[in-house]
A and B are shown apart, each in its own frame.
Chain A
């Protein structure tokens, strides 16, 4: 993917979430991981790139295509091209697992009911969820819910998949389940941008890591270079030493 972010700022009331973030990424990055302390602007930046939030100023272009934040219609198109996953799963609680997957396929992507069901079954099967297809979200474990959410995001075949802290609401065992799945997606050639607190995972799966703090991109680079502890930036070192301590 090619991603260019220039001077992106976002305020929520008086709180400044992003304060002029800049980035220029070349083509051979397939998985981009954002790390940084909570409140550093990771999720906000992800939402802006994903077309869920509109920046106060600045511009984003993805694969040489500028995201038009002025037109709700073009934003809707942008969201429909890509998949998005939330920390807290956000499945539709009144719909069964399979309906959570088929509903967007039918309503947004115009598939017929039978094709949508076939596609959804294929996805759920791939993620080992086929026996849970007719359960409601409240009947599933957190890990299962997050996997259904991934199936929902993946089923339409998105250009790019946004994952917003996909494992931070899960216990370690379920985290493992979901991280395995994301690694598998990467191996299948899926482009992904994610935010995470799992440093080991970020190092293993990402081609590029960016470090955000106080609404700015402080650092970016290849994982092995950036995360080796002889770092040049004292802020990143402090952050890493804090998260790696235990």
Chain B
């Protein structure tokens, strides 16, 4: 029953709550982009966008609520109705305009490039010629520019700005394409190793994102926002904001002869795209077959997991009743899902086309996650066993190393281990394969946990068994092989299964070092198509397809090793 409740709750969390009220004005932004939107030293939200949002709320006569949301989730949040507007330095691209509407532009900027100091790239011509390794941030206009214009380039998507900068600084990538101001700031961080090419390779306009009106709604909010922007500009308040927040940048671009970002042509408008709901394109029978087999296998594993094993419940072996119970549970679950989705259907504009078009890419990511997880899993057993042997070894330096390693690695966040491991340690040893390094780091991380679980299992077997084994004349090796390990394995199986499931899910963090696994592929598809739940649902199903069979295997092994009730 617990499993049912927890799966139900996780389902609830998956679906975005959809509330929409006239008051207050809810503005979404990612507060990680100074000086436009950031959290100031005193803990208050600050920046150009924040000041604009405040003025806009006053203009509309509503109170303001700012929600800090990841950039690539902003459009999902807007579409689902949990926010009213996006003011987050967002470029009004054609792709985005298919999903949401935009106000008139308030900033003109452009894509710039960060290149290594001695790079041959001087401008757009050098960029286009030759096979370049391009790094971009997920869901940005830099990414869509690279994907549509740079056909010959190898594109690497990252989720963190500093990681993109490091890729260039360490010459792992030839160029980072991002907006002017960010490139300028990151260049200041890596003055010795990089060069900023600020001349725009493509011009872009930032605008305020607004939800497309549903059937029966009018366009009034967009008209009010445009009205506000006009007044705000005419009263010279953009000038004021730039003096407060962007003095240094303003001076710099003036010397380079590039127009400043607030110098927007007042006649420039952003078109609004209106079109019908997307329909499915071709059906791929092979894909459907693969997915069906996987789902059936998982349901079979799920069935075995939920089966009664407790002899104390009467009639536990009554197959008919078990099947009935299973079917009733599924009917209830389907009913609940239907209820949740029918409520979301009213406000949510479903768009499965983009995800469907990228099904093979996402499936490829899933396969990659599968083998990343399993290689890491096997390596991590080696690491764990090594740590246990090492921490019992008589050679003191090794023993102390193993103990310190366990505590330090177990105590640090995986994100830090991955970033530090890849950009510092792997760089020092000149190892370059992202996936290889990712697998190694995952295994080293999980190995520290596994070592402790193994140690606990061995300790729990107890001294009497050691005594007994020695008394019958077993050597040390035989004692472990035939007496201690078999008993320890039985006890640690549930904990190990938990660790392995965690390992599978944690493999999604490999995206921070640019490994394109399941989550990353799905993120890329989601960001490119501006879908939300449509991207997350296959993700959840995909991980369950791996973890449920894993849980089933662990149950089977537990039964195989069981020797006491």
Chain A interface (Cβ within 8 Å of chain B)? 50, 52, 76, 79-80, 83-84, 86, 88, 90-94, 103-104, 107-109, 136, 138, 152-153
Contacts and interface: CB of A to CB of B under 8 A. Distances in A.
B465 A80 contact: no
A93 B472 contact: no
5 contacts: A52-B467, A88-B464, A90-B464, A92-B487, A94-B486
Given A52-B467, A136-B564, A152 B487 contact: no
B303 interface: no
B482 A103 contact: yes
Nearest to B561: A94
A108 B464 contact: no
A12 B173 CA distance: 63
A76 B467 contact: no
Looking at chain B, what size class is its interface with the partner chain? Answer: 20 to 34
A152 B563 contact: no
Name the residue in B468, B474, B561, B565 with the highest tally of chain A Cβ atoms < 10 Å from its Cβ: B468
Given A79-B470, A86-B467, A104-B472, 11 more contacts: A50-B471, A52-B467, A79-B471, A84-B472, A90-B465, A92-B469, A93-B564, A94-B490, A94-B563, A107-B482, A108-B473
A84 B474 contact: no
Contacts of B478: 107-108
A90 B470 CA distance: 11
A67 B29 CA distance: 79
Contacts of A76: 473, 475
Contacts of A92: 465, 468-469, 482-483, 487
A59 B63 CA distance: 90
A52 B475 CA distance: 12
Residue among B467, B478, B487, B561 having the largest count of chain A Cβ atoms under 10 Å: B467
A72 to B, nearest CB: 8
Nearest to A92: B483
A136 B563 CA distance: 7
A136 B561 CA distance: 13
Nearest to B471: A84
Contact of B471 (A52, A88, A107, A136): A52
Nearest to A108: B473
Contacts of B464: 86, 88, 90
Most A-side CB within 10 Å, residue of B468, B473, B483, B487: B473
A84 B468 CA distance: 8
Contacts of B486: 94
Nearest to A47: B467
B197 to A, nearest CB: 68
Interface in B517-538: none
Contact of B563 (A84, A90, A109, A138): A138
Given A108-B472, A108-B473, A152-B472, A90 B467 contact: yes
Contact of B468 (A80, A90, A136, A138): A90
A52 B561 contact: no
Contact of B564 (A83, A86, A104, A138): A138
Contacts of A136: 563-564
B396 to A, nearest CB: 20
Given A103-B482, A136-B564, A52 B472 contact: no
A68 B470 CA distance: 16
A112 to B, nearest CB: 17
Given A86-B464, A90-B464, A138-B565, A108 B474 contact: yes
A103 B486 CA distance: 14
B468 A107 contact: no
A80 B469 CA distance: 11
A116 to B, nearest CB: 13
Shortest Cβ-Cβ A-B pairs, 4 listed: A90-B468, A80-B473, A84-B471, A104-B472
B15 to A, nearest CB: 46
Contacts of B473: 76, 79-80, 104, 108-109
Nearest to A73: B475
A109 B474 CA distance: 10
Contacts of B483: 92
Contacts of A50: 471
Given A94-B561, A94-B563, A138-B565, A86 B471 contact: yes
A80 B470 CA distance: 9
Contacts of B482: 92, 103, 107
A94 B485 CA distance: 11
B475 to A, nearest CB: 6
B486 to A, nearest CB: 5
Interface string B470-496: 111111001000110011001000000
Contacts of B472: 79, 84, 103-104, 108, 152-153
Nearest to B476: A72
A200 B470 CA distance: 31
Nearest to B475: A76
A246 to B, nearest CB: 30
Nearest to A75: B470
A19 B490 CA distance: 42
A93 B487 CA distance: 8
Given A94-B490, A94-B561, A104 B474 contact: yes
B181 to A, nearest CB: 66
A103 B471 CA distance: 13
A91 B465 CA distance: 8
B490 A86 contact: no
A76 B482 CA distance: 17
